[in-house]
Structure 1
Amino acid sequence: MHVAATKISPPPLSPDKTVHRPLLLETLDTRTLEQIVLVSAPAGFGKSTMLAQWIRQENMADQCAWISLEIQDNSPAPFLNLLIQSIHRVYPESCRATLALMSSTTPISFDQILSSMVNCLNHLDASLYIILDDLQLIHEPVILNSINFMVDHLPRHCFLIFSTREDPPLELSRLRVSGRLLEIRQDQLKFSTPEAVEFVSNVTHLDVDGQLIAHLNEKAEGWVAGLKLAMLSLKTFPGDSQTDGMSLDRLQMFNGKDKFVFDFLMEQVLTSLPAHIRTFMGVISFLDRFCAPLCRAVTRDNQSESHLRFMEDNNLFLVPLDNTRTWF
């Protein structure tokens, strides 16, 4: 089955539109890399960009089977075809037996094809990095079971890297204990002040005072998309076409009600959420900090604790304030 080349190739990067993040990329040192990597954070934190930068920095595009997942890939046959074709792209000789099975007129089970792939990869004499980008779009149990199978049975020179807005249903605790899991989350992905300054200077090409950028980055809590949307909003501020001389007063006017931020959150986050979660988030949004009992008192919803867990599991901009995840 034909696959668009852009779906199974790392996304292109423009060096002048990205921020160099050496400390973050050091966590992905291929010499000490854990076999399973989970990059999990809300929309707009630069997950895909960071992985693409890593591939370019390590000069390993010819070892990387990248899959850009879409909603239509949430079906066993299309997913398996993407997986095999992405591996075949970087190692053409590696999956010939598996491709032959897939094109056979004899009925072949999903498990047989998956086992054939793993056996073929066992004979590779080089490393393979399988990257599943936007894994949160996959919910089909058969596919999730196949991913679990790969986690347990891929040879040691093969690595699985997940980029997702929500944690996949894997046995993450077991992987942590076994030392096979590297986790990169929102705290590591958010911009530091120097990175924010570099971003505004090199990417948006706006002349903004560094102190103002620091204030803005703090306001956005290091959210990469938030910073970009803020600069877009300030650049188009009514009555002022200048891109320099931005004041703290103008900066204070930027918040979650800004049109660009609102549109981004609606398109990328809120529209895909269950209605009861959207309602719950709207009711508690005025609280600076909250816990389940407080949310129950405010919303009169006895499922408040469950809703908070859903928000945390799905990376919905929820920041734990303690190790017991009681206050947020």
Structure 2
Amino acid sequence: MSIQPTSSSTWCWIGKLTPPHTLLTSKVRETLLASLRQQPSPPLLLVVAPAGYGKTILLMQWRQELLARPALAHLAWLSLDEADAEPNRFLAYLILALERAGLELGPLSHLAATQSLDAQPLRTLSALLHALSHAEHPITLLLDDYHYVTCIEVDHIVCTLLEQATPRLNLIIASRTRPAWPLARWKTKGWVQEVSAHQLSLSEDETRSILGAHAQTSDVQHIHRTTEGWAVAVQLARLWRESHDGNVYGLGAFCGCVTDVADYLAEQVLGSLSPQCQLFLLETSLLERFNAELADAVRERTDSAQLLSQLSHLDALLMPLDAERQWFRYHGLLRDFWARGWARAKPGASTAPPPIGWRKPAIGYKPWPTP
């Protein structure tokens, strides 16, 4: 079913109800897709990884797989943003997405399109569950960028859908952070399958596919080693190769100080962090490996364990080295990025100063070699 914008639904951005358009060369994640095919479809497929690991691409490719199966071809897509943290706005878009997937919703569709839903979101949720219980076929709902929805009420809506609408509704959700849901309890029921940043990391062959068949083996190996399979960094390496600097210096010079990589880290990874977390990353960036106690000693503070907990969603860039998540190391590109922060701290540096409150660690650091 196709929804056309009307005078009563001018608030609605229809583009949120379809996968985003991309012009970048995307590698079909055949290994990941094969793994998804081989396992029974649980009520929730949760994809969690930092920015740039290909979460949206995986959802889009898995959506295409499901569309090819008649029994699973009733799909709803919703890309989320910060405004969707308001429960009734989230419900309105959710209703419009489910209507597109063929769910008969009666008056709910008009109420959603005109932003006239009940002031009590739970009443709307109850009506939605009633409609799902009478669905003629299962529906798969894909929610992209769930990390933008930091709202207890929206979390409650999604949890209720999972627990009460199964098996008429399956959820596929991508997020940069783990949602505050009872995931451990759901896992004991076999309701959850997770895809992590480690699983999303590109193999050397996938890196070669993005760089192109003409890329030299040594360059492919360097990019794969430098990016550690971080998909967006591989894409940026391919684009950088075509730039003036890339032509002059070659892929062997690609690192985290390349402008596009630094800008991406600043905007997409670090920009959403608190100043305290950013400062923590800078103050510990010269350590080869560290735990909370060592970070406290270096920083002359006592809050490192708390800050590491707040940074747990960056585990593909601030990598745990043991199962207990006590020891960590930095992704090489993030290390290169913070090297610029150290350069800015040098006396007489012409670039912008480091973050407010920054000071050189007192003890225990070991500078990284120059890239």
Tell me the TM-score normalised to structure 2 length. 0.78
CA distance in 2 between partners of 1:41 and 1:56 (Å): 21
What is the CA distance between 1:314 and its match in structure 2? Answer: 5.0
What is residue 299 of structure 1 aligned with on the other side?
A: 299
C-alpha change, 1:105 and 1:293, in structure 2 (3 Å) is closer
Determine which of 227, 236, 240 is the counterpart of 2:243.
236
**Larger deviation: 115-124 or 57-66?**
57-66
C-alpha change, 1:31 and 1:219, in structure 2 (3 Å) is closer
What is residue 80 of structure 1 aligned with on the other side?
A: 91
Residue 156, structure 1, aligned to residue 153, structure 2:
no
Residues 93-116 of structure 1 show CA distances to partners (whole Å, capped at 9, x for unaligned) of 521243366569795521011011
CA distance in 1 between partners of 2:168 and 2:132 (Å): 9
What is residue 20 of structure 1 aligned with on the other side?
A: 28
CA distance in 1 between partners of 2:117 and 2:179 (Å): 33
CA contact (8 A) 2:210 2:238 kept: no
CA distance in 2 between partners of 1:106 and 1:13 (Å): 33
CA contact (8 A) 2:50 2:313 kept: no
CA distance in 1 between partners of 2:51 and 2:116 (Å): 42
What is residue 18 of structure 2 aligned with on the other side?
A: 9
CA distance in 1 between partners of 2:149 and 2:186 (Å): 20
Determine which of 81, 85, 90 is the counterpart of 1:70.
81
What is the CA distance between 1:18 and its match in structure 2? Answer: 1.6
SS of the equivalent of 2:193 reads strand
What is residue 47 of structure 1 aligned with on the other side?
A: 55
Q: How many residues align?
A: 315
SS of the equivalent of 1:34 reads coil
What is the CA distance between 1:186 and its match in structure 2? Answer: 0.6
What is residue 191 of structure 1 aligned with on the other side?
A: 202
C-alpha change, 1:231 and 1:57, in structure 2 (3 Å) is same
CA contact (8 A) 1:67 1:83 kept: yes
CA distance in 2 between partners of 1:301 and 1:316 (Å): 25
What is residue 340 of structure 2 aligned with on the other side?
A: none
Determine which of 202, 226, 250 is the counterpart of 2:233.
226
CA contact (8 A) 1:42 1:186 kept: yes
CA distance in 2 between partners of 1:310 and 1:264 (Å): 21
CA contact (8 A) 2:162 2:169 kept: no
CA distance in 1 between partners of 2:234 and 2:44 (Å): 30
CA distance in 2 between partners of 1:168 and 1:106 (Å): 25
The one-letter amino acid of 1:24's match is L
CA distance in 2 between partners of 1:306 and 1:107 (Å): 40
CA contact (8 A) 1:101 1:113 kept: no
The one-letter amino acid of 1:144's match is D
CA contact (8 A) 2:140 2:169 kept: yes
SS of the equivalent of 1:17 reads coil
SS of the equivalent of 1:319 reads strand
C-alpha change, 1:101 and 1:12, in structure 2 (3 Å) is closer
- Look at both structures and tell me which one has the larger radius of gyration over its CA atoms: 2
**Larger deviation: 209-218 or 23-32?**
23-32
Q: Which runs of 5+ in 2 are unaligned?
A: 1-8, 329-371
SS of the equivalent of 1:19 reads coil
What is the CA distance between 1:298 and its match in structure 2? Answer: 1.0
C-alpha change, 1:77 and 1:157, in structure 2 (3 Å) is closer
What is residue 318 of structure 2 aligned with on the other side?
A: 318
The one-letter amino acid of 1:38's match is L
What is residue 356 of structure 2 aligned with on the other side?
A: none
The one-letter amino acid of 2:52's match is G
Residue 173, structure 1, aligned to residue 180, structure 2:
no
C-alpha change, 1:151 and 1:108, in structure 2 (3 Å) is same
Residue 139, structure 1, aligned to residue 147, structure 2:
no
What is the CA distance between 1:30 and its match in structure 2? Answer: 8.5
Residues 72-102 of structure 1 show CA distances to partners (whole Å, capped at 9, x for unaligned) of 22211211111000001111x5212433665
What is residue 109 of structure 2 aligned with on the other side?
A: 99
What is residue 215 of structure 1 aligned with on the other side?
A: 222
C-alpha change, 1:31 and 1:225, in structure 2 (3 Å) is closer
What is the CA distance between 1:174 and its match in structure 2? Answer: 0.9
CA distance in 2 between partners of 1:298 and 1:106 (Å): 54
**Larger deviation: 270-279 or 25-34?**
25-34
CA contact (8 A) 2:43 2:192 kept: yes
The one-letter amino acid of 2:288's match is D
Q: Which runs of 5+ in 1 are unaligned?
A: none
